Amino acid sequence: MDSSAVLFNQLKAAEPFFLLAGPNVIESEEHILRMANHLKTISTKVGLPLVFKSSFDKANRTSSKSFRGPGMSEGLKILEKVKLAYDIPIVTDVHETIQCEPVGQVADIIQIPAFLCRQTDLLVAAAKTGKIINIKKGQFCSPSVMSNSAEKLRLAGNPNVMVCERGTMFGYNDLIVDPRNFEWMREAKCPVVADITHSLQQPAGKKLDGGGVASGGLRELIPCIARTAVAVGVDGIFMEVHDDPLNAPVDGPTQWPLRHLEELLEELVAIAVSSRPVLNLHIQLFTFGHPSVDSVVDQFLDNHTTDSCGSSSNESPHVSTHGPSPPSKGVVDGKEGRPSWWALPVEDMDLDMDELRQYKASLETLKSNVASRLKEMEERASLTRDFVGFLDAH
């Protein structure tokens, strides 16, 4: 098995998640080596596999006057020194097809920028390096687009793919994170990564004193987005970290302070670990083929709700179910609205029968509560009919 496949399998198996982290851009060799040392120490302490990230060229800066980095030749030399000095894998981005081969000789993961996530020639060139490819979801894309991008890599002969959520455009100069995307992007059938820093950018939202604009950001909300992502159960976290964000030449407003990294990662690990049993229950239940709580209630109401004339009514009273969400929508294996694992035979599944019994008991309780509510509504309807009859008679 080649080294890329080995690393890919290690990252997929990481518990509770792996970490892609580093400063946005290479500022100097000394700075990058220092940051790599700190990041390896912290990630080792909290027990997370680290892939060190930094860019040699920021080709999509808002202003042509902005700092871009040392360039590919010098930047790759520095990244290779990091790799050798600290024995950590490297992830960096490419912007042109001609960059893929030389970058693939140094980087363990090649990153496709969000703006370029649909560029077929770039995806194919990156795939042919044999390296792991991390595709950032475009701010303008739906999560389903990532399935197509991942498929382009596989058709080019590279199965080592991961996709990354980095926010969605919300009007001008703003991004939001839709947590549903973390689930929907699994349709790409590969690890899902959450970029918890770029997703809080405010693109071109910061006016400069000398004229022009730059990207702003909401650094203070990074923990909020991070907590959401690990609670949902992403496979990896991508974050940019800096020892002096206020003076960082690129994306300072969305880089996380190095001095607060350890405490944030410890919290995220705790959340991810505590969420895992719930996530497993969710998967097992739907793999087994049970309908969601919502579906059970809908069916119950359809069978038991009657209008004042005694005929069946299609309008069910509002009942709060608080159950797990139904499987993500889409057409898989000819079955609309069901993911591919829905139809797996029972003997191929690892089922926890105690959890299933608990779930069944909770459904019975819920059905009982709904039945009581319906009985109460019917009693009120009966009183209303009696009162209307009394008024008509007098």
Out of 53, 58, 131, 136, the active site residue is 58
**Are the beta carbons of 88 and 58 closer than 8 angstroms?**
no
E strands present in the chain = 18-22, 50-53, 90-93, 109-112, 132-136, 161-165, 168-169, 175-176, 192-195, 201-207, 213-217, 236-242, 256-257, 331-332, 335-336
Q: At what angle do helices 261-288 and 222-232 cross, to 10 degrees?
A: 30
Beta bridge partners of 25: 55
Q: Residue 358, CB half-sphere, CA atoms under 13 Å: how many?
A: 9
How far is it, in rounded angstroms, from Cα 31 to Cα 79?
A: 12
Out of 93, 195, 235, 251, the active site residue is 251
Which letter does DSSP use for residue 137 in this model?
P
**Are the beta carbons of 274 and 230 closer than 8 angstroms?**
no
CA separation (Å) from 372 to 34, 304, 367? 65, 11, 9
CA separation (Å) from 324 to 167, 220, 285, 321, 344? 24, 30, 10, 9, 20
Q: CA torsion, points 270, 194, 281, 286, in degrees to nearest 10?
A: 180
How far is it, in rounded angstroms, from Cα 160 to Cα 130?
A: 8
Residue 251 is a catalytic residue: yes
Out of 24, 134, 158, 160, the active site residue is 24
- What does the block give as tokens for 23? 């400063």
Q: Could you tell me whether strands 18-22 and 236-242 are parallel, antiparallel, or unpaired per DSSP bridges?
A: parallel
Residue 24 is a catalytic residue: yes
The candidate with the shortest Cα–Cα distance to 93, out of 222, 250, 233, 227, is 250
Residue 298 is a catalytic residue: no
Q: Please give the positions annotated as active site.
A: 24, 58, 251
